[in-house]
Each structure stands twice: as C-alpha cells, then as structure tokens.
Amino acid sequence: MGLLRIMMPPKIQLLAVLAFGVAMLLIENQIQKLHESRVRLERTIARHEVAEVEQRHSEDVGQGLSSLAEKDDMVIIYNRVPKTASTSFTNIAYDLCGKNRFHVLHINTTKNNPVMSLQDQVRFVRNVTSWRQMKPGFYHGHVAYLDFSKYGAKGKPMYINVVRDPIERLVSYYYFLRFGDDYRPGLRRRKQGDKKTFDECVSSGGSDCAPEKLWLQIPFFCGHHSECWNAGSRWALEQAKYNLVNEYLLVGVTEELEDFIMILEAALPRFFKGATELYRTGKKSHLRKTTEKKPPTKETIAKLQQSNVWKIENEFYEFALEQFQFVRAHAVREKDGELYVLAQSFFYEKIYPKVN
C-alpha cells in the first residue's frame, strides 16, 4: 500500500483521501439514521406496552366501579390572600365548574378571620376529607394554611395560591376599603367617606397604612401557629417558605396571573381545562379593579421600605416570585410573542415483564 501511494500522483492521492472522507461521512450519516430509527422504534414499542398495561389495568379495576366523577377524590384549596386578584381567579373556577364537572365552595369565616379555632380546624378537615358529594372540589377563602396531616387525615388536598408585591397589595386594600371596586360598586365599604390618600395616611402615621399592615402574605402561608402572626418574625418567614415549597402545588404572582392560569391548566386539566382562553377572552369573569386607586409617591414607598416588616414580607415575595419563574421556565416557552405549554418530555421504556 505504501508503494502504491509513492507511485500515485499527488492529485490522485488527494482525490482518494476526499473519496474516503465522503464515504466515512455517508457511513456515519447512515449509522445516525439507524440509531434514530431504533430510538423511535423503542419509543413506539414502549408506548404500545404502556397502553396494553393501562388497558389491562382498566379492565381489571373497571368492573363494578361507578362513574369517574363519583370516584374522583381530588380536592384543591385556594387559601386566597386579599387583594392579589383572588376574586378574578376564583370567578374563572366558577365559570368552569359546570363544564368540567367539579364543585366550588367558598369558605366564609366570621368577620373574615383567617385563623380558625381548634374545633373549627378539626371540623373543616373532617368536612373536606369526608364530604364525598362535594368531590372533586375547589375550596377558596381567606384562611391561613392548615396542615391536614396534623389532624390524622388520610388524604391531603392540593394547595395553590397567588402573591403580590407587598406595597402594591396594601395600597390596593387601602383604597378598596374606602371606594370598593367595579365588581360590586353599590356595596358600602367599611371606610367609605374617608377621602385621605394613601400618601397622606403614611405621612401622618395612620394606622391603616402602618408597616404592620404589610404583614399578611407570610402568615397566610405560615399557618395557625401563634408565631406566624407576630409581625416581623423570621421564624414565620422560614415556615412560610417551607410550606410554599413543600405543601403548595403552585404559587403564582398577581403580576403574571395569565402564566399562572396557563400552567395550572396544563397541570390540572381536570379542573382548569379552558381556563386560559376564558381569562383572555372573558368579558367579566376575571375583571375586578379597585376604584379611585392612586399610585403612592416614591417618598411614600421609600418610607415603608425602611421598616423591618416590609423587608421580611418582600423577601418572601421575592422568594415566591423566583420559585414561580423557575417553574414557568420549565413549563412554557415563548414563540412569536406568545406563550405555549411544553409537551410531555418523558416516556417509559424497558417495561418488564413483557405483556403476552
């Protein structure tokens, strides 16, 4: 072979090398195509095997069972924080419940007290877990988080929630108490007639705009421990963070409510199928705006931000926002200015024993 290379002209040698390279590329391309074909075949076989297993399972357990709706035990609790677009989101659930065949129940506590007595906690847990006629169920109300396992409940509901920038939430609540909103414009509010702006309230040291009024989102996530309601408690902050990560399926933010709804629809279509389109096109189901709301000045915001309560509440909000954005980054993609939900990115294979 060495003698042939010596006897071959340089041009012929170059052509031979090029021919060899092209041949290797063609061979590698064929190998890659064969590999891709094998992967597709394995996935097809795996899907077929999964389908057969599921069919066999459904045949085994399907006999004698009543309809799916009667056996659907899923329960969602939305312990909504005031002035975080909670009414807007809840109205979507009311609009969907008939079509998607689930129940919506409002948890109406005396004087909107978010803390239940111990006996009411036990009653509530018993109701939610054993009230079969109300399953599948979507419960919503201004109540603090409850750990169902603490009461010996066999099943735990799925919690969801929405949070908002602490100062924006307080400003909205301040004006809501005085002027109401466009949802029930004729209803007389507790502070109706008080024309003082939020800026004037902060400047004069009023109680309705005091930094302690910012302390609400943390205790709602922290729960029914006494320390949860101690304004500025770092223990409450850490407990709220723990519950958010470990006990809540999803926590969205008011500023990105549509993304929150889109992810919920993808994760829980049993409840939220059609929610995104309803939110985008609904005439009234998701619209609620506080009347006469005036944005605070930079001086007012800076004064509130000096307080320890704001710093801790804002730390929780930033934590929740970061977690939500992490979930969203792995659930949706943007294309041509529109968000779309990612398709399923896993499958099963190598399933044994083989189905005959």
- Are the CB atoms for 96 and 274 separated by under 8 Å? yes
User: Span 237-251, mean pLDDT?
Assistant: 98
Task: Decide if pLDDT at 331 tops 90.
Answer: yes
CA proximity to 344, closest of 36, 18, 47: 47
Confidence of residue 192 (pLDDT cuts 50, 70, 90): low
Is domain 74-341 annotated with CATH 3.90.1300.10?
no
Confidence of residue 64 (pLDDT cuts 50, 70, 90): very low
Q: What is the pTM of this model?
A: 0.78
User: Span 78-84, mean pLDDT?
Assistant: 96
48 is catalytic: no
Confidence of residue 38 (pLDDT cuts 50, 70, 90): confident
What is the per-residue pLDDT across 23-34, written as a single tens digit (0 to 9) for each?
888 888 888 788
Task: Decide if pLDDT at 67 tops 80.
Answer: no
For 248, phi then psi, to 5°, come to: -110, 130
Task: Decide if pLDDT at 68 tops 60.
Answer: no
Confidence of residue 82 (pLDDT cuts 50, 70, 90): very high
User: Span 130-152, mean pLDDT?
Assistant: 95
Task: Count CB neighbours of 269 within 10 A.
Answer: 12
- Are the CB atoms for 216 and 165 separated by under 8 Å? no
Which of these ranges, 38-52, 80-94, 163-177, 220-234, has the smallest mean pLDDT? 38-52
Query: Which of 57, 142, 224, 330 is flagged as catalytic?
Result: 142
User: Span 36-64, mean pLDDT?
Assistant: 61
pLDDT computed for residue 9 by the predictor? 73
Query: Which of 35, 140, 224, 225 is flagged as catalytic?
Result: 140
| Full DSSP string of 150-168 | GGT-SS-PEEEEEE--HHH
pLDDT computed for residue 336 by the predictor? 76
CA proximity to 93, closest of 261, 298, 303: 261
Q: How far apart are CA 56 and CA 49, in angstroms?
A: 11
140 is catalytic: yes
Q: How far apart are CA 264 and CA 356, in angstroms?
A: 38
pLDDT computed for residue 17 by the predictor? 75
- Are the CB atoms for 86 and 161 separated by under 8 Å? no
Confidence of residue 55 (pLDDT cuts 50, 70, 90): low
Q: Are strands 75-78 and 158-163 parallel, antiparallel or unpaired?
A: parallel
User: Of 180-184, 207-211, 352-356, which has the strongest mean pLDDT?
Assistant: 207-211
Query: How remote is the C-alpha of 185 from its chain's centroid?
Result: 30
Q: Where are the alpha helices (DSSP H) in the chain?
A: 2-7, 10-62, 68-71, 86-100, 118-130, 166-179, 198-204, 217-222, 234-247, 257-267, 269-272, 275-281, 298-304, 308-329
- The three-point CA angle 339-263-94 to 5° equals 115
Q: How far apart are CA 216 and CA 203, in angstroms?
A: 22
Task: Decide if pLDDT at 164 tops 70.
Answer: yes
User: How many percent of the chain have pLDDT more than 90?
Assistant: 60
User: Span 39-54, mean pLDDT?
Assistant: 65
CA proximity to 178, closest of 187, 166, 167, 165: 187
Task: Decide if pLDDT at 71 tops 80.
Answer: no
User: Span 64-78, mean pLDDT?
Assistant: 68
User: Span 240-268, mean pLDDT?
Assistant: 97
Confidence of residue 176 (pLDDT cuts 50, 70, 90): confident
User: Span 238-242, mean pLDDT?
Assistant: 98
